[in-house]
Structure 1
Amino acid sequence: MNTLMFEVKELTQEQLPLDILLLADPEEAAINVYRGRCHAFAVFMQDRLIGATLIEVDQVNGKAELFNIAIYPEYHGKGFGGVLLDETLAELANRGIRSVELGTGTFGYQLSFYQKHGFRVDRVIKNFFLDNYDDPIFEHGIQHKDMLRLVWQAEEIDE
């Protein structure tokens, strides 16, 4: 059986190329707002970057916010996004992070992906994509207008 060897590791956010971040957030200006304050985690296969995520960590309050997660298109559907997200969440939980929040559109594959990995809908921000992006964002011919805020809670482990 052919086993793909992969590794998830933490990087500095400066080590991530802009092109991968633009896959998840179409405006460089928006990325630049959060990029500098984030931790970066990436998944590699045979030392080749496959995907990455940017997460702002509030260690004092045990919270984090996921701002960006993307996998290069040629690797979609192969489980790399799930591995990256699950291993990143596990590492954050090991560091004392009890909840992770993110924003996403109100429809599309991203919403299903996050819910599959334990995120739950917390609230809706009306007109977020209309108010914060210069160009409209469409998926399957439908314009994204509102943002869903999702939250993941680390499971409490009895010792």
Structure 2
Amino acid sequence: MIIIRKRNPEEPLPMELLLLADPSAEMVASYAERGECWLLADGDGPPIGAYVLLPTRPATLELVNVAVAEERQGQGLGKRLVLHAVERARELGAATLEVGTGNSSIGQLALYQRCGFRIAGVDRDFFVRHYDEPIVENGIPCVDMIRLSMDLPRSDAGAGTSGPR
């Protein structure tokens, strides 16, 4: 049974997982400690997926890392993590959830849009400015950050319109 749980602060960061989505251990450690790290596991086994949710501005959170173990990719686990992050952002009262991914991250761009995110802008040369080593994915140099966002309507907007299920 797949479970998603919040990382216990005494528990080590699943760095090998998080590095699948961001090649800089220094950047991962920095934002993971400032945000909420959630872990996906198969029962009580070790984490096979993770995401980090980070407050950025008032009423805005950013999904800064979504990672699934390579051997478990293609099974819908990334989508489960993203949708869980959307619900968590709603629980925290955020009005907006943002995410950024590389211009070369074709699969991630599709995933985020399938989950309801819309392209909001481009941070030109982001990966050139913030990473020492060049990144290439899908045969494409990763240079720009594609920013996506989702407005989060209040979950209580329809309160009282339907009975218990």
TM-score, structure 1 normalization: 0.88
Query: Is 2:86 aligned against 1:89?
Result: yes
Partner of 1:89, secondary structure, is helix
CA contact (8 A) 2:63 2:85 kept: no
The residue number in structure 1 matching 2:59 is 62
1:14 to partner: Cα distance: 5.8
Task: For 2:73, give the aligned amino acid.
Answer: H
The answer on 1:8 being equivalent to 2:41 is no
Query: What do the CA deviations read for 1:51-74 (whole angstroms, capped 9, x no partner)?
Result: 00011136x822111111100011
Query: SS of the counterpart of 1:51?
Result: strand
Q: Residue 93 of structure 1: CA displacement?
A: 0.5
- Flag the 1:14–1:141 CA change in 2: closer, same or farther, 3 A: farther
SS of 2:34 mapped into structure 1: coil
State the alpha-carbon separation in 2 of the partners of residues 122 and 71 from structure 1. Answer: 25
Extract structure 1 runs of 4+ deviating beyond 2 A.
Answer: 12-16, 155-159
Structure 2 residue runs of 5 or longer lacking an equivalent are: 160-165
Amino acid of the residue matched to residue 99 of structure 2? L
Please tell me whether residue 158 in structure 1 is matched to residue 158 in structure 2. yes
**Separation in structure 2 between the aligned mates of residue 115 and residue 146 of structure 1, nearest angstrom:** 18
SS of the residue 2:85 aligns to: helix
- Residue aligning to 1:133: 131
In structure 1, the partner of 2:20 is: 23
Tell me, in whole angstroms, the C-alpha distance in 2 between the residues paired with 1:105 and 1:75. Answer: 21
Output the CA distance in 1 between the equivalents of 2:113 and 2:78.
13
Worse-superposed segment, 10-19 or 83-92? 10-19
- Comparing 119-128 and 149-158, the one that deviates more: 149-158
1:149 corresponding residue in structure 2: 147
1:33 corresponds in structure 2 to 30
User: Alpha carbon RMSD of aligned pairs, Å?
Assistant: 1.7
Question: What is the total number of aligned residue pairs between the two structures?
Answer: 154
